[in-house]
Amino acid sequence: MTDKEKSINNIAILTMDCLYSTIYLNALMTTLSGRVKVIMVSDRIGEKYGSAPKQGLDHFRQSGFKFILYLLAVHGLHKPLFLIGNIVRRILNRPRIFLLSALAKHHNIEFMVVKDINSKQVKEKLTEINPDLIISAYFDQILDKDVFEAATYGTINFHPGYLPDNPGPAPTFWAIAENRPVGSTIHFIDSGIDTGDIIVKQQVAHNASNSHIGLEYAIFATAHELTIQAIEMVQTNTAVPLSREGERVYHSYPDANAFIKLEQAGKCYFNLRDYAAFFTYVLPHAPNPTPPIHLKSDQAA
């Protein structure tokens, strides 16, 4: 390590327990195992967030039945399907895909379920491990300043949308519906929502899949590569902020009219073939990840 390089050996990861984060973190651990000290998983069910049935009803009223099926597929059904898939992986002598709690145990990483990322308990844990870097990836809680500044070199966020064009919780959907760039971005977290300095980003071609879930697969199948690239840029002091030129349009979850736009764009929201791709995902061999597919990467020079 040169005098200009930073030491990044203690990492905290913030995420949700879902289909996307499962393949992302399994791939990421092929490179970062031993450096990640804690995985904090968001739990926004109950208490101030409302019960699961209430949240489901709210989503149904706003977005309709298709969105409810999507939520079930991404946030619940993936667990038994990965377990079944691991039986096939064992027969084919392929590395298994761990569910997140098992992944943490396998790599000797502390696993925490957190309802409030800004709670005293979380802040005490971050103080205890003294992270060099925090990675937020598909995380659904807003961080207070003293949380995202708790790491020596700050907090970076993997956002599954091409910034600055597509902030918010459903960027791929709106990118398709409004013919905006599809892709992903790694940026530093600041006090805004998806407004921090951009480290690196990459596009996915609209024609990479004819479905929303298929484009999400193209994004998350290579998310670990973009994350490792960003970490290396932070570590070597080469993370020069990229331009934020572009039309920023923030959207929340889609409503019924938005699904009409998706169909007009020639895409379906969900199909089983593209969903199945997540369960046949091949983990990269450490330390060299698999090359990206259908990607165009932008990074600071």
pLDDT of residue 50: 87
Question: Which residue spans within the chain are E strands per DSSP?
Answer: 11-15, 36-42, 110-114, 133-137, 155-159, 182-188, 198-204, 295-299
Cα-to-chain-centroid distance, residue 161: 10
pLDDT above 90 for 4? no
Q: How many CA atoms lie within 13 A of 84 on its CB side?
A: 8
Residue 4 lies in a domain: no
What CATH number does the domain containing 199 carry? 3.40.50.170
pLDDT above 90 for 172? yes
| The dihedral sign for the CA sequence 130, 35, 105, 275 | positive
The least confident of 137-141, 197-201, 286-290, 297-301 is 286-290
pLDDT above 50 for 1? no
Exposed, middle or buried, 65 (CB in 10 Å: 0-12/13-18/19+)?
Answer: exposed
Percent of the chain with pLDDT over 70: 93
pLDDT above 90 for 84? yes
pLDDT of residue 34: 93
Residue 51 lies in a domain: yes
Residue 3 lies in a domain: no
281 band by pLDDT with thresholds 50, 70 and 90: very high
Q: What is the pTM of this model?
A: 0.91
| Sheet of 110-114, strands arranged across | 110-114, 36-42, 11-15, 133-137, 155-159, 182-188, 198-204, 295-299
Residue 83 CA to residue 74 CA, distance in Å, equals 15
Residue 2 lies in a domain: no
Domain that holds residue 207: 11-299
SS3 of residue 139 by DSSP: coil
pLDDT above 90 for 197? yes
Tokens linked to 32: 């970062």
Residue 293 lies in a domain: yes
pLDDT of residue 293: 35
Total number of domains constituting the chain: 1
Residue 1 lies in a domain: no
The average pLDDT across 110-124 equals 97
In whole numbers, what is the pLDDT of the chain averaged over residues? 91
pLDDT above 90 for 198? yes
Tokens linked to 206: 């609209």
pLDDT of residue 5: 77
pLDDT tens digit sequence for 201-231: 999 999 999 999 999 999 999 999 999 999 9
298 band by pLDDT with thresholds 50, 70 and 90: low
pLDDT above 90 for 285? no
pLDDT of residue 288: 45
pLDDT of residue 146: 95
pLDDT above 90 for 246? no
Residue 86 lies in a domain: yes
pLDDT of residue 109: 98
The average pLDDT across 111-127 equals 97
